[in-house]
Amino acid sequence: MLDEKGHENTVQDATLDWANKVFHMKISTEYEFEVGYPIIMISMLDAIYPKRVHWREVDWRFQYKRALQKNYAVLESIWSEVNMDKAKEFRVENTTLRLEYLQSYSVAEKLEFLSLMKRWWDTRIHHAGPYDPMLKRLEFIDQCKTWGNKVKFPPWIEFDKEHQVEISKMDADELKKLQEFNKMPEYKRLIWFLGCPEHQTM
């Protein structure tokens, strides 16, 4: 992954720039992209399905090939659990790219898959509630400690252990509404869901 001058090849792509911004990452080289790819995908799934991802299963020792294999296995497990192959963007009639072959794909193919993932994300994130990647990292570091797992982030994953949660007034209102909705008995949630346009697209 070095060019003719011995420098690491960089990856320039609008969707990767978006992922870096949203998930507070600084992935720029092909190496970082290759080893960080399953983490990007898992982060996107975690934002939509916050209780499905077990971050303690992720291997952060990116220098080892087995860590990459483990992280792809974690990704495949979540992917299967939430039936992502049935999502419009990933149905066989809409793309020939398949998750099970993702690890062997070229950078260009991985970028194409990431763009499909962003398209899926854009249709779902509005119903998933506020997502703070830095706060999420603080949470799973604590969880991993209880399991005896140490987490050490590479330089291309931003982390601030003093991170303070900043929620805008609009996000705070949305969060409050979501919390109130989740506290309702199931039959009331169903009535509201059926009668309220805001929740019919969930």
pLDDT level of residue 174 (50, 70, 90 thresholds): low
- Please state the pTM of the whole predicted model: 0.76
Please state the three-class secondary structure of 89-151 as a single string. Answer: HHCCCCCCCCHHHHHHCCHHHHHHHHHHHHHHHHHHHHHCCCCCHHHHHHHHHHHHHHCCCCC
Rounded CA separation 185/146 (Å): 32
Percent of the chain with pLDDT over 70: 79
CATH 1.10.418.10 residue ranges for the chain: 14-162
Domain 14-162 fold is Actin-binding Protein, T-fimbrin; domain 1 (1.10.418)
CA-closest candidate to residue 90, choices 48, 127, 52, 120: 120
Q: 37-73 pLDDT, tens per residue?
A: 999 999 999 999 988 888 989 999 998 999 999 999 9
